[in-house]
């Protein structure tokens, strides 16, 4: 109740709803940034895997078959997150700290 009263003093029209709306916008912007960072990680992993296989360092090459590093690389190639997100680029340029 005290928080709502203080929020009403700062913003007589919206009160806590204004703060909640601002926080929701920040969450949306951060989720967009996270999705883009995750997509970049996937892209870099694919490039790294392609580079390794192009230079003969793939899991099936004779030089790495059975070595611990090839087993580790094989386990790291699996994505640890699901990329079924849609990124809204329209609001990405806006500052996430503005109210």
pLDDT in the model for residue 95: 52
For the chain, what are the domain ranges?
Answer: 1-36
pLDDT in the model for residue 84: 53
In whole angstroms, give the CA distance from residue 18 to residue 4.
11
Question: Following DSSP, what letter does each residue of 38-91 receive, concatenated?
Answer: HHHHHHHHHHHHHHHHHTT-STTSTTTTT-HHHHHHHHHTS-SS--------TT
Distances (CA, A) of 12 to 15, 16, 21, 40, 74: 6, 10, 15, 43, 58
Per residue in 28-82, pLDDT tens? 999 999 999 999 999 999 999 988 887 766 555 444 445 555 454 554 555 555 5
């Amino acid at each position: 109740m005290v928080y709502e009263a203080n929020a009403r003093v700062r913003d007589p029209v919206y009160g806590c709803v204004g703060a909640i709306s601002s926080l929701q916008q920040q969450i949306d912007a951060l989720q967009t940034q996270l999705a883009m960072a995750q997509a970049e990680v996937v892209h870099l992993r694919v490039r790294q895997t392609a580079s390794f296989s192009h230079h003969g360092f793939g899991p099936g090459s004779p030089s790495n078959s059975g070595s611990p590093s090839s087993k580790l690389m094989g386990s790291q190639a699996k994505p640890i997150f699901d990329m079924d997100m849609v990124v809204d680029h329209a609001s990405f340029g806006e500052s996430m700290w503005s109210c």
